[in-house]
Amino acid sequence: MDDRMFRTAMGKFATGVTVIASEVNGDVHGMTANAFMSVSLDPKLILISVDGKARMNEVIKQSGKFTVNILSGDQKEMSMIFAGQIKEDKDVEFETFEGLPVIENSLVSLACDVYQVQDAGDHTLFIGEVLNLNVKDGEPLAFYEGKYKQMT
């Protein structure tokens, strides 16, 4: 098995799409991620996986807080901006929730404190304790086989 085959196999697992956001010294940083999962109900914990070389890794470690924004089906462009797939500068207006930056009109926004950090291979796993959340109705943006999909 080579790296390409492994990536192809992992792409067969359909996921939702999130934007992770955090703030350090007044600068908001965002990153598209589909490596997100619920971990525990008591306490309420979630997990995100961030590339060890990604700027977001240090931002979250410095801040000690982050948000997870689960994107709706009409937020593909937002995902592409934070995935670096749209190269021209786009101004993104963040809202504030629990003192943290969130993406407007996300299906769900979770405000989290870092609960635990674990290095795992070339990534860092951040377990976040959910402080509060917002939920809206709508259909999710999905990702499957390296492509965006809308649920119908």
pLDDT in tens, 63-82: 999 999 999 999 999 999 99
DSSP 137: -
Cβ(136)–Cβ(110) under 8 Å? no
Q: Does the predicted TM-score (pTM) go above 0.85?
A: yes
User: ∠90-66-39 over CA atoms, to 5°?
Assistant: 125
pLDDT band for position 151 (50/70/90)? Answer: confident
pLDDT score at 137:
96
> What separation in angstroms does the CA of 63 have from each of 4, 21, 24?
34, 11, 6
Instruction: Compute the average pLDDT of residues 110-136.
Output: 98
User: ∠27-76-121 over CA atoms, to 5°?
Assistant: 65
DSSP 124: E
Cβ(97)–Cβ(136) under 8 Å? no
Peptide bond into 140 cis (omega under 30): no
List pLDDT tens digits, range 5-49.
999 999 999 999 999 999 999 999 999 999 999 999 999 999 999
Residue ranges and CATH numbers for the domains of the chain are: 3-150 (2.30.110.10)
In the predicted structure, residue 89 carries a pLDDT above the cut 80: no
DSSP 107: S
